[in-house]
Structure 1
Amino acid sequence: MPWRVERADFEDGRSGHLVVDDESFRPHSEAMEFVAAMYAADRSANTVRTYLRPVAGFLNWCERQGVDWRRVTILDMARYKRFLETTETRRGQVPAPSTVSVHLTAVCEFLRYCAAADLIDSEVPMQLVERKWMPRAVGRGPLLESGYTRDVRVSALRVRPIERAPETLSEDQQQAMIDSAPTARDLFLVRLLLDAGLRIGEALGLRWEDMHFLPDSSSLGCSLAGAHLHVVRRATNSNGALAKSLRSRPVPVHESLVRLYRDYRFERDEKLANVDPCDFVFVNYTGPRTGLAMSYSNAYQFVQRLAGRNGFRAAPHMFRHTAATGWVESGVQIDVVQELLGHAQASSTKIYLHPSRERMREAVNALAGRR
């Protein structure tokens, strides 16, 4: 019975995803409990879907291979890893090492949850990690010199990453998206993602109260000067949008974005004059959910459709990569970029330090030219 990921509406009014049987639409019981656990941990709907697709693929592979997923061994997982690395995608390409790593991480998390919930034997996920002795100095004085070793567990199915710069939009592609945005709402969304570097979940979760687009926001109870917005994590968003970071952060915006915001508010008031008000910033203009908050799928379809009209491919997260790369190449300090992006760890921001091939060539030509 092949498994696949399908959208589902839950009793609390939220929408999400489940792993279901392709013929009977019967949910996979263990995967359904895994979904409930992720939502209980405030994982976003987008994150849940990202985890479920590898889980469904793993379950299908096990059935084709005659492997009981509840008793999977390290040898089985090594075979599955090899399968992921050598199976071409729909575009006729083998997946990148990072993609394989994400798949394995999702499957291991699923197995670990099942073991913790006593759904499978606890030894199953324990095979997927190995012990490693690592020296670590602690304390001061003599202890710092002698140090000690500690036992940690690392993945037994490591994938060697390939260092590459994040995929971004060229200047021509950015301008094409801006010029062809059909509505003021779409233009504001495109520019917001490009200028502020927000994650799509952060943008879709914005409320009116988060938009402090005034020179002085003291009347709103905010002491920050200049136009800015606040990224706030809310686990109760009806569209499932969820800011990744637990910590709220302010993000400054340019005056040109404030003007686009005003245009959008005017357009929205006209188009939705007879619709009940909604405090989400981004809402649907058409369809059965007119006037309600835009979902992840709405945003993805919009970006893909707009890029397709201009002859290239794009996804919402590419806007964030483009913004961060642009800041770094403009000489913005890495700690400022880290704060703008809301990264908890500096290592997450360092991926944007990869220079482009054009900048590398410019550097070589500049030095050679002086000789």
Structure 2
Amino acid sequence: MSRTVSTTPAAPRTPLRRARDGWLDHLRVERGRSEHTLQAYRRDTDRYLSFLHGAGVREPEEVREKHVTDFLAHLRRGDDEHRPLAATSAARAVVAVRGLHRFLAAEGEVPADPSQEVQPPAPPRRLPKALPVDAVERLLQAASVGDTPAALRDRALLEVLYGCGARVSEAIALDLDDLELGRAEDGTGGVVRLFGKGSKERIVPMGRYARDALDAWLVRGRPAMARAGTGTPAVFVNARGGRLSRQSAWTAIKTAAGRAGLKDDISPHTLRHSFATHLLDGGADVRVVQELLGHASVTTTQIYTHVSTQHLREVYAQAHPRARG
């Protein structure tokens, strides 16, 4: 039994549609766009031309900015034939529409580009994924299976990523002179000097767990690996004595996540996200977290406050007498 597939009805063969077909020919012949891309542009602009036809627009020069913005609103709202489009899908359609009008303006077919000021809708910003505290603890424990130099290194690496909120590039770039481990007898953890984006330097406190893991690696693990190298100052080294690579750091985390039974996609940045989220959950000021993360603007850091909203809800539900029926 055959099924009827609903498609956007093709607009009549107006001057606008002929202009659109000329644009697609230009993309195919002169720009070498793939057939898959051309088909997507054709689908998006078919719907756009049908929309313009319904608005009484027949000529390219009749299109105004309002028509483009109204079409964008139409995409997000949907109609009897189409479901509302998400921001990402609507943005793709608007990109096609803008490409068409930019081409017509460049070819002198119209005096100006009516879509020039119309911005595609921004996709919703994905909230960073943070692990629960107990999952982080399982991950860190899983990184130190055995007492081999590699196990000591991987535990120290993960403790620095989580305990200092370091980016993986910052962690593998650490040199011995960037560490101040503090004193074990008074329980202090010391500090670490990180170099972030644009080589911007920041000093980050180091917790006791990170300090102890680094101390174990530097005393019992690194000398065995560094002997194979050429005297590198790198804190984290590989089996050949050279500086640990980003890929090897990722592998260490993936291996530990597998051992810990964590099925979600875990990356070095997951530990950085967890660092920030757990600080805010514990009552840290967002501007302090900004400094610890090395963000140039507090706006970047504030995305983590949305993650912590769930924690606030949980506390409210447990503590407020009118939270539950």
Q: TM-score, normalised by structure 1?
A: 0.52
**5 Å matches for 1:293-332?**
293-312=243-262, 313=264, 314-332=266-284
The 3 A distance-change label for structure 1 pair 247 and 363 is same
Name 1:176's counterpart in structure 2: 138
- The structure in which a higher percent of residues are helix is 2
Backbone CA RMSD of aligned residues: 4.1
**Per-residue Cα deviation, 1:71-99 (whole angstroms, up to 9, x for no partner):** x99x68x99xxxxxxxxxxxxxxxxx89x
Q: For 1:333, which of 279, 285, 300 is the aligned residue?
A: 285
Q: For 2:238, which of 268, 273, 284 is the aligned residue?
A: 284
- Classify the secondary structure of the residue corresponding to 2:192: strand
Work out which of the two has the higher radius of gyration on C-alpha atoms and give 1 or 2.
Answer: 2
Q: For 1:231, which of 194, 205, 210 is the aligned residue?
A: 194
State the 4+ residue runs in structure 1 displaced beyond 6 angstroms: none
Name 2:168's counterpart in structure 1: 200
2:174–2:234 contact (8 Å) kept in structure 1: yes
> By how many angstroms is 1:345 displaced?
0.7
> By how many angstroms is 1:246 displaced?
4.1
* 1:211 counterpart = 2:172: no
- The structure in which a higher percent of residues are strand is 1
Name 1:251's counterpart in structure 2: 204
> By how many angstroms is 1:200 displaced?
1.0
2:179–2:193 contact (8 Å) kept in structure 1: yes
1:214–1:227 contact (8 Å) kept in structure 2: yes
Runs of 5+ consecutive residues of structure 1 not aligned to the other structure: 1-60, 80-96, 108-122, 132-154, 216-224, 233-242
Paired with 1:246 and 1:316, the residues of 2 have a C-alpha distance of 19
**5 Å matches for 1:81-100?**
none
Query: Which letter does structure 2 place at the counterpart of 1:191?
Result: E
The 3 A distance-change label for structure 1 pair 275 and 252 is same
The 3 A distance-change label for structure 1 pair 328 and 308 is same
1:128–1:157 contact (8 Å) kept in structure 2: no
* 1:159 counterpart = 2:127: no
> By how many angstroms is 1:190 displaced?
0.9
- Classify the secondary structure of the residue corresponding to 2:233: coil
Q: What's the % identity of the aligned pairs?
A: 26
2:225–2:238 contact (8 Å) kept in structure 1: no
2:159–2:210 contact (8 Å) kept in structure 1: yes
Q: For 1:360, which of 313, 320, 324 is the aligned residue?
A: 313
The 3 A distance-change label for structure 1 pair 358 and 262 is closer
Paired with 1:66 and 1:366, the residues of 2 have a C-alpha distance of 54
Q: TM-score, normalised by structure 2?
A: 0.59
> By how many angstroms is 1:128 displaced?
12
Query: Which letter does structure 1 place at the counterpart of 2:297?
Result: Q
The 3 A distance-change label for structure 1 pair 327 and 268 is same
Name 2:296's counterpart in structure 1: 344
- Classify the secondary structure of the residue corresponding to 2:288: helix
Query: Which letter does structure 2 place at the counterpart of 1:307?
Result: A
